[in-house]
Chain A
Amino acid sequence: MTAAEAPKPISQAQKDEILAIVACHKDQPGPLIEILHDVQRSLGYVPAEAVPLIAGALNLSRAEVHGVVSFYHHFRSAPHGRRVLRLCRAEACQSMNGRALERHAMKRLGIGFGETTVDREITLEAVYCLGLCACSPAAMIDEEVHGRVTPERLDELLKRAGAGVRP
């Protein structure tokens, strides 16, 4: 099951926050991606309503900003779960049973890549290399890294992360 909730309209406080972020970066050359990072750090995602605000402040068209936001897989247009589990799917991890780990994770969480558990606890995302290839397969929970992850170890990590795991 997935929970693809339509994001709620953002509040005035959030709009102010976005404008404050833009103001902070405005004078840097080519600041758009930095701004999007900060907006996502602050709001958890880049809401559609942020696009005109950013475009207006940077004097770009909305289309341009939308084109950029949608290009980068890191930026999301809706909030993710409380925690994000990223599993590396690249070759070095595949060589150490990464595929089995992926299948295990999807089964335990009941979701696919890019999806969030119904309780909105965990979002599962694919990542292509975490630079932990000498201790593969690798995973990252939020910014916490883990190497040589076995299915059992993953269960443990998820449990420790407080994520409800489907029986």
Chain B
Amino acid sequence: MNVERLVAMVNDIAAFFASEPDADAAAEQVAYHLQKFWEPRMRSEIQRCLEQGGVGLSPLARRGVERL
């Protein structure tokens, strides 16, 4: 999987939920979305990316992925 593309995608998702004033809730919603709509190998890929430092992930995206 193209990690850069996945990072861009999760950043897009996080950007949507960023309007949620409650930061925890926002991260939860990011994680929930990934859980519901991302195929497992995409999720593991993004998790691996996070483990390797999560280059390019926006702060909320990072917090979302952390919750997977």
A–B touching in complex (CB under 8 Å): no
List residues of B whose CB falls within 8 A of some A CB: none
